[in-house]
Chain A
Amino acid sequence: MAHLGPGKAASSKEQAGLRYPSNGKTIYHRPLNRSKTAELSQASFAYLFSEMVSYAQRRVTGIQELEKRLNLQGHPIGLKLLDLLLIREPPRSQTRPLTIIALLHFIKINLWTHLFGRQADRLEKSSNPDTPDEYMIIDNEPLVNAYISVPREMSQLNCAAFVAGVVEGVCDGAMFPARVTAHSVGGKEEGEMWPGKTVFLVKFEPEVLEREALIGKG
């Protein structure tokens, strides 16, 4: 570890490279359960998120790459939220999701409520028999897209790729490796009710389905 003041005798103190905050409180002194009043202003979030998008937009060559970067920004958040949300559950229902359905319910209810203050709108399994590994989480109006207008030439882009990354992080953390992508479907079906409607397509890896079948038998 590099010490900032090479001239000073830093080795005399143990852990010389480590600084504590002046009030002596570290992350370990803070409670984990401050969930009720910990809401964030939407304006500040929208500002931060717009900066995140423009940061991701630097040095990318295409929309796919941009979405990939947004996805990567969300991924570690998902990994961490999984543990945080589980520990905030009451002890009775503090259970790891062991099946795909339990995991998707956890995402639809707990994760969405924590992030956006409401549940996701719908959960669907792919009706196509060729893709039994695909599930869809549907959000009619993603909060992250509230103040984002996509230029016409980039109409493929959906910035909810960030949320898809969070969902992917939760799936990966729970040992359900998956690829999650966000797709805009607003305006294509059932009228113009929800123009911002977004489908999060969750495609699980084959080994997840294999394990699921084994557990179902046992």
Chain B
Amino acid sequence: MSYYFVIIGTQDNPLFEYEFGTSKQGGDGQAHFTELARHLNQFIVHSSLDIVEEVQWANGQLSYLKVIDKFFANYISCFITGGNVKFLLLHQPTATATATGAGMAGGGSSGAATSTRSSTSVGANPTSPQTEEAIKNFFNEVYDNYVKAIMNPFYRVNMEIRSPVFRQRVAAAGRKYL
């Protein structure tokens, strides 16, 4: 299970990027995207922005918009802040990833080994309530830290977030929930 997390500003500009893997079920916490997939991820996430704009005015009142888009085995979850900054999380369940052959190249054998183990893990079924809950908790924690980041009087909205402390906090949230 690999994750690609990105914060998108109000002008569709990226503010923060982070790649990580699951730490549950003996995961090593590293992302296992291939070099090709890493570039592709940015396109997939970017194309999902259109859907975010469609659902953000319709989908109830909740900030957390759940899984909004799917591209082969890549699921996109979205969280939208009060200031219309978008948190997008691309998640790629290991089992389906090996089945479709997308991602996990160069680690095929280990991927097959983990897929049997991770079938019960949080991320194995991207639309299950447990996964949604875990992602929601992750987003809420990141939101908390994001608000702290914008409280910085020298930070203006839509500036890139460079703080290493913020990065650590996001990494910690990823380890804790995903």
Binding site for B on A (CB under 8 A): 14-15, 18, 26-28, 30, 32, 76, 79-80, 82-87, 94-96, 98, 173-175, 211, 215, 218
> Which chain A residues lie closer than 8 Å to B156 at the CB level?
76
> Which chain B residues lie closer than 8 Å to A211 at the CB level?
57
A79 in complex: contacting residue of B83, B145, B146, CB < 8 Å:
B83
Query: Beyond A96-B63, A173-B157, is A215–B150 a contact (Cβ under 8 Å)?
Result: no
Q: Is the CB of B81 within 8 A of A83?
A: yes
CA distance A163 to B51 in the complex (A): 35
Most B CB contacts (10 A, CB to CB) among A32, A83, A98 go to A83
Interface bits B29-72 vs A (CB < 8 Å: 1, else 0): 00000000000000000000000000001100111000000000
The 8 closest A-B pairs by CB, nearest first: A95-B61, A86-B82, A173-B83, A83-B82, A82-B82, A28-B165, A79-B157, A83-B83
Q: Is the CB of A98 within 8 A of B57?
A: yes
CA distance A94 to B156 in the complex (A): 23
Smallest CB gap from A175: residue in B:
B84
Check if B129 is an interface residue, CB within 8 A of chain A: no
Most A CB contacts (10 A, CB to CB) among B81, B82, B148, B157 go to B82
> Which chain B residues lie closer than 8 Å to A86 at the CB level?
63, 81-82
CA distance A93 to B165 in the complex (A): 29
Q: Is the CB of A15 within 8 A of B164?
A: yes
A83 in complex: contacting residue of B57, B150, B166, CB < 8 Å:
B150
> Which chain A residues lie closer than 8 Å to B81 at the CB level?
83, 86
Q: Is the CB of A80 within 8 A of B151?
A: yes
